[in-house]
């Protein structure tokens, strides 16, 4: 019997390299797939990733393991499907999450496409996450290594995709992965983990935004609604970001004394292009609840009623709270509140809003970022954050 084929998303990093080795040991025929986001060498956006070096290391790994490697040019697709939508969101005053978008419109669809072309039964990546088959379908769990868990970035994977996906290193921690790589003489066993934004790395995001978004000067307000300075545009700032006086933020002379004595943070952005800043621990910095836009579930048949915790950023703390749904009809909020959408017969002409109410107010909650819900180790689903 021929071994089952798996298309493995690979880079020059140690995680996907060890994933390839482990899949081979499990009896799979592995085909490596590398998405090169800079084949031209001059992409229309900055990147700290050295793509030629990544591909060179990857080819050495594939040669060592004797596996086929498919390389795809995804520079144009990344620009059209990730970069442009990201800028549109920033222009709206949102703080998007391009890493989750990259997985949902780029990596996983491309892996599935190549799998079909190569008659492969599975796809795989080097993500630190776990998939388990249950009586209700497939469930997605946090990676065993809590400091490397990447389940947050996998928001949006549906049952069909999960049924074909393998995460070979999900039950390992980073130290174990490096030890396996070193034992097998992989040249990248001690290679530094990638950081920053998907395919961009750690870049100066404000400088990048200013390359494509025109400045729109506005006022900086205090919690008391006093004008205390000016800024180049709310789209260049994120809720929860610490305020530092520089060329971008110009503060009034009378306010500088307070500024030098306390730490200030972005509390909110107004529709009038104003930034409101507040000193640390101020009530304005705390958000009690959020609206979840476009809520998606890992498995609609496995949707717990209570005991949920939320993350509002990758590897952020797990925040306890309650998930609620409210029907809006004729501009009035219905009194019907449930925690499971399929328990309610949707009223004609009504719209639904999902809310997550934190047990305690949270700082740094930014519109456009993703909120991901968990029940213990299991990821339940999530969506984009919107504030009331």
Catalytic residue set: 102, 198
Measured CA to CA, the distance from residue 174 to residue 261 in angstroms comes to 41
Measured CA to CA, the distance from residue 169 to residue 74 in angstroms comes to 25
Tracing tokens 């994933």 back to the chain, one arrives at: 19
Whether residue 62 contacts residue 69, with contact meaning beta carbons closer than 8 Å, is answered with yes
Q: What angle do the packed helices 174-183 and 14-25 form, to 10 degrees?
A: 70
Nearest to 149 by CA among 315, 275, 15, 268: 315
Query: Residue 6: how many CB atoms within 10 A of its CB?
Result: 26
Whether residue 35 contacts residue 110, with contact meaning beta carbons closer than 8 Å, is answered with yes
Measured CA to CA, the distance from residue 116 to residue 208 in angstroms comes to 37
Measured CA to CA, the distance from residue 61 to residue 131 in angstroms comes to 26
Alpha helices (H) along 139-217: 159-163, 174-183, 205-212
122-124, strands of its sheet edge to edge: 68-73, 29-36, 5-9, 122-124, 165-166
Rg for the chain, CA atoms, rounded: 23
Whether residue 18 contacts residue 180, with contact meaning beta carbons closer than 8 Å, is answered with yes
């Amino acid at each position: 019997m021929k071994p089952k084929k798996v298309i493995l998303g690979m880079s020059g990093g140690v995680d996907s390299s060890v994933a390839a080795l482990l899949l081979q040991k499990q009896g799979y025929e592995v085909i490596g797939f590398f998405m090169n986001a800079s084949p031209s060498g001059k992409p229309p956006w900055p990147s700290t990733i050295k793509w030629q070096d990544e591909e060179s290391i990857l080819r050495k790994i594939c040669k060592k393991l004797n596996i086929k490697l498919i390389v795809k040019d995804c520079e144009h697709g990344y620009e059209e499907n990730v970069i442009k939508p990201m800028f549109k969101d920033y222009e709206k005053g949102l703080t998007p999450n391009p890493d989750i978008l990259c997985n949902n419109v780029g990596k996983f669809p491309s892996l599935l496409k190549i799998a079909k072309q190569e008659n492969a039964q599975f796809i795989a990546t080097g993500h630190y996450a776990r998939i388990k088959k249950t009586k209700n379908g497939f469930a997605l769990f946090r990676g065993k290594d809590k400091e490397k868990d990447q389940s947050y970035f996998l928001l949006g994977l549906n049952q069909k995709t999960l049924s074909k996906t393998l995460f070979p290193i999900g039950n390992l921690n980073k130290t174990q992965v490096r030890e396996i790589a070193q034992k097998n003489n992989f040249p990248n066993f001690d290679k530094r983990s990638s950081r920053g934004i998907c395919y961009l790395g750690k870049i100066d995001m404000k400088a990048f935004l200013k390359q494509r978004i025109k400045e729109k000067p506005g006022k900086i307000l205090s919690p008391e609604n006093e004008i205390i300075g000016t800024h180049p545009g709310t789209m260049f700032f994120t809720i929860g970001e610490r305020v530092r006086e520089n060329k971008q933020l110009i503060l009034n002379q009378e306010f500088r004394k307070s500024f030098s004595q306390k730490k200030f943070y972005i509390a909110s952005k107004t529709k009038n292009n104003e930034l409101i800043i507040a000193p640390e621990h101020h009530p304005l910095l705390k958000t009690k609840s959020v609206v979840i836009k476009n809520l998606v579930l890992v498995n609609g048949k496995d949707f717990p009623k209570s005991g949920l915790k939320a993350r509002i950023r990758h590897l952020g703390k797990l925040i306890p709270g309650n998930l609620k749904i409210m029907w809006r009809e004729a501009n009035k909020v219905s009194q019907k509140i449930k925690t499971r959408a399929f328990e309610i017969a949707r009223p004609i002409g009504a719209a639904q809003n999902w809310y997550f109410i934190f047990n305690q107010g949270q700082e740094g909650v930014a519109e456009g970022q993703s909120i991901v819900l968990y029940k213990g180790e299991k990821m339940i689903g999530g969506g984009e954050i919107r504030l009331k």
